Amino acid sequence: MNDIQRLPAVDRVLQQLPESIAAHGRQMVTACVRAELAAAREGLRHGLPLPDESTLYAAIRRRADEAGRANLRPVFNLTGTVLHTNLGRAQLAEEAIAAMVEAARAPCALEYDLASGGRGDRDDLVSGLLAEIVAGGSPEIAATIVNNNAAAVLLTLNALAQGKEAVVSRGELVEIGGAFRIPDVMRRAQVKLHEIGTTNRTHAKDFQEAIGPKTALLMKIHTSNYAVTGFTAAVDEKVIAGIAHGAGLPFVIDLGSGTLCDFAAHGLPAEPTPQQALAAGADIVTFSGDKLLGGPQAGLIVGRKDLIAKIKKNPLKRALRVGKTTLAALEATLRLYRDPDRLAERLPTLRLLTRPLDNITALAERLQPDVQGAIGAQATVSVAPCSSQIGSGALPVERLPSIALRLSPNAKKPGKALLAIEAAFRSLPMPVIGYIRDDAYHLDLRCLEAKDEARFVAQLQHLKF
Ligand SMILES: *Cc1c(COP(=O)(O)O)cnc(C)c1O
């Protein structure tokens, strides 16, 4: 009998793997057994030794566990960017999570009017709440919800300006990460972009002179991911609104992030709100659900009731609408804004942005020995100041002072060692994502909350280089 014949039969191997079969099903484990046996046969042909059975079984278990693991996995976001687009932006409040789970589990009154037993409208689930939060409950204000803010801008432009022109300052023709560019969105919405002013300066007369028979609306776009400084001039929203209304045209503002609370009151840099935009005379504002608002991915279109009705009639609305779990999370998140006193405690985005520095420092000091113990002689771990950013294009210039664990490799040339450390943290059961700067690997601890500390520490034993 040669070594290849000595390899166990598939059925015999399967008998040794009852836990894997219970976890992943016989079909998947069988495929893993076949793959590992094939790899062993290939190894034998190339002169490798016959694997002992326990090694073989362990390899099959690993392969099955890997194949059975979800692709969308939770991670520790220690990048220092609180609203990290690639890591899913806002973490939802427990209230929003519970509402999503409920909506997912049972039938719900998504488009069903429980009072009359007739057909309902899914936007009504949040429209009144939004009017309450942004316009003191004005009956003239309504809202409609789509998949994200890019969709909100596309739909608004198509519904209000198709075949006509939208007037925008050249200083506001933004590109948001992931190929959202205002000129391209305009084209797709079948709206002609009428650029006015210059990159650094736009004046009221530029708006005035741009208005002609083809003009459908005036638009302002919040330059959320960059700042133009120096010799600049932009036109006040109230002035643009006055010019628009004088010509009988709507004024639309794409706010981007659009926090619903007063950031300055929480000690954060001021950020424009939909409240201010509407008060200044905007007829429609659009903003994201998962940026500073702290809710699910969604695009919120809020404003004048007649314009919202027109937007909702557009066929694109049907294509861009959101589902019940999104609406459940959005409604629950908006309800938190009714209690401003507890908002910073209950809304994770605000809680993380306003987290006191001494709280982050204390955590860093607690974790330093654990991380040093896990990394051993590879690197020296210290507690160091760093700066977090808000992310998602909100407040691009502002930084929040924070505290990091700084891992400085003990190797002479740190380049390779840094990449190895970064990869090791990324390979943990719950991957840890940090960043490399100034020849050190940093873990900004702003977004590691006390409730997750034990989980973070427990998995350090799996750190491997
Ligand atoms: C982020 C942003 C968008 C896109 O919003 P998404 O919700 O990511 O689609 C559009 N406009 C501005 C000004 C933004 O900041």
Distance in Å, CA 235 to ligand 1 centroid: 21
Side-by-side strand order, sheet with 400-409? 81-83, 379-391, 400-409, 440-444, 435-437
Distance in Å, CA 91 to ligand 1 centroid: 17
Q: List, in order, residues 6 or more apart from 52 with CB less than 8 Å away.
A: none
In angstroms, the CA 437 to CA 454 distance is 27
pLDDT digits 0-9 by tens, 334-364: 999 999 999 999 999 999 999 999 999 999 9
Output the pTM of the full model. 0.94
Using the structure block, give the residue that is written with the tokens 């609406």: 327
Give the residue, by CA position, lying nearest to ligand 1 atom 12. Answer: 256
Give the residue, by CA position, lying nearest to ligand 1 atom 2. Answer: 256
Residue 396 in this model has a pLDDT that exceeds 90: no
Distance in Å, CA 181 to ligand 1 centroid: 10
Distance in Å, CA 11 to ligand 1 centroid: 55
Give the residue, by CA position, lying nearest to ligand 1 atom 1. Answer: 256
3-state helix, strand, coil in the chain (%, to 5): 50, 20, 35
Distance in Å, CA 185 to ligand 1 centroid: 12
Higher-confidence residue of 42 and 271: namely 42
pLDDT digits 0-9 by tens, 82-102: 999 999 999 999 999 999 999
Average pLDDT of the chain is: 95
What is the arithmetic mean of pLDDT over 42-69?
94
pLDDT digits 0-9 by tens, 194-250: 999 999 999 999 999 999 999 999 999 998 788 888 889 999 999 999 999 999 999
In this prediction, residue 451 carries a pLDDT of 94
What is the arithmetic mean of pLDDT over 240-268?
94
| Measured CA angle at 36 (ends 33, 40), to 5 deg | 135
Residue 12 in this model has a pLDDT that exceeds 80: yes
Three-state SS for 238?
Answer: helix
What is the arithmetic mean of pLDDT over 366-378?
97
Single out the residue of 123, 82, 141, 134 nearest to residue 298, CA to CA. Answer: 123
Which residues does ligand 1 sit against, CB inside 6 Å? 148-150, 153, 174, 176, 180, 221-222, 224, 254, 256-257, 288, 299, 393
What is the arithmetic mean of pLDDT over 39-68?
94
Residue 210 φ/ψ, nearest 5 degrees:
-80, -20
**Please, which pLDDT band fits residue 77 given cuts at 50, 70 and 90?**
very high
In this prediction, residue 269 carries a pLDDT of 87
